[in-house]
Amino acid sequence: MRTGIATVSLDYGKCPYWLFERMKRLSRGIISAIVEEFGPDEVLKRLSDPIWFQSFGCVLAFDWNSSGLTTTVMGALKEGLRGLESALGLFVCGGKGKTSRKTPQQIQNWGEFLGWPIERIDKMIYASKISAKVDSALIQDDFSIYHHNLIFSKSGQYAILQQGMNIALQKARRYHWLSSTLPLRSGQEDFTEEPHSGIISGVRVRPLNLTARESRENKEISAGLVNEEPKTFLKDIELISKKSDALMRQKRLGNFIEMELNDIEFHRHPVVNEKFDLKRLEKSIFFANFRKPKNFEQLLATKGIGPKTIRALSLVSELIYGAKPSYEDPVRYSFSFGGKDGTPRPVEKDLMDKAIDIIEKGIQKSKISNREKIEAKRRLVETFR
């Protein structure tokens, strides 16, 4: 089972009513079949697998390479399970655009309905908020998050699906999370170091990737800068900004910045003509210093700490203290269970057969006409061919 990121084309428009209604019924049948045979936590595992999710959308008759697959499939699933949440033990929160901002309140409502203690509800809300910050501030890949779903079971396990758009590339990237695969540090879930166990994308970019293990020292120093030396940090970032502007005006190095600071030379630094609002940055840094975060995750969770602040801290940690972050895009391209030539990996027959079997059973259980079932089976064959 792989969780991760998928990248698809950015599309516009609405799903036709006749298709959306059929997607609701078919998704209800497939998900009900999985719950009946394997339990609700298996549904979370399936939704957190970008390859299975893409196949699921194709079987529901949506374009395999459309960004709308994510938003429409999750919308259809949320509506399809409406009224069955308690019976199935599955609860879908959030959605696209403004609906994504309602995720915390929807988690709160369902948690109170289930009689959960406030600590358990708050933990789920925190997972929703911190995952959004990680995918926007720690993986800075120029994809802006506009869709967010958190799906959880009565056991307290959850999956998170987020989607970001890059208008310049005309692409959308989907981020998958699964609570049971989050790494643990000191017995606690670690949201900031390689929380995606598999990342899949059709395009590669050069992001600031602070989720990489190689970025650990950079993050530790960033947290220290806020706690111990906010004034020193602000002087350093102002110096870097001035040198950056001067070098870029001279056009000596094209897209790269070269500078020598504290007797350490840095060549071909990947930050391109970085601009910071120093007054706003100062406000954010001193507020974070007042909160005294114990670690980098607490710093990230602090109100007002966003991509720009994280990027500034990372830049100073690298240029002044020599703690390099990762700039590698943590993606692997594939929309399949493997290829017959071993590219991107050998065909995973067992996983493929299991996926086909469970979707086929769901088609049979769905309350749609025989003709629609035949069409769904045809799409299933085409998807896994």
Shared domain check, 227 and 198: no
Residues whose CB falls within 8 Å of the CB of residue 155, separated by 6 or more in sequence, listed in order: 40, 41, 89
Quick: pLDDT tens for 83-139. 999 999 999 999 999 999 999 999 999 999 999 999 999 999 999 999 999 999 999
Q: Which of the listed residues 302, 319, 336 is the one where a domain comes to its end? A: 319
Burial label, 152 (beta-carbon count in 10 A; 0-12, 13-18, 19+): buried
Coil/strand/helix, residue 1:
coil
The most confident of the ranges 77-91, 196-210, 315-329 is 77-91
Q: State the number of CA atoms in the 13 A half-sphere of 195 facing the CB.
A: 26
- Is 71 among the domain residues? yes
Shared domain check, 170 and 311: no
Please state, rounded to an integer, the average pLDDT across all residues of the chain. Answer: 82
Quick: pLDDT tens for 233-272. 999 988 887 766 554 454 444 444 444 444 444 444 445 5
Shared domain check, 258 and 192: no
Shared domain check, 66 and 44: yes
Shared domain check, 58 and 80: yes
- Owning domain of residue 222: 215-319
pLDDT of residue 345: 55
Give the percent of the chain with pLDDT over 70: 79
Quick: pLDDT tens for 81-96. 999 999 999 999 999 9
Quick: pLDDT tens for 157-202. 999 999 988 888 888 888 999 999 999 887 889 999 999 866 666 6
- Is 381 among the domain residues? no
Q: Which of the listed residues 287, 319, 351 is the one where a domain comes to its end? A: 319
Q: Which of the listed residues 319, 338, 359 is the one where a domain comes to its end? A: 319
Work out how many domains the chain is built from and give that number.
2
Give the percent of the chain with pLDDT over 90: 48
Residues whose CB falls within 8 Å of the CB of residue 186, separated by 6 or more in sequence, listed in order: none
Higher pLDDT, 375 or 255: 375
Shared domain check, 76 and 166: yes
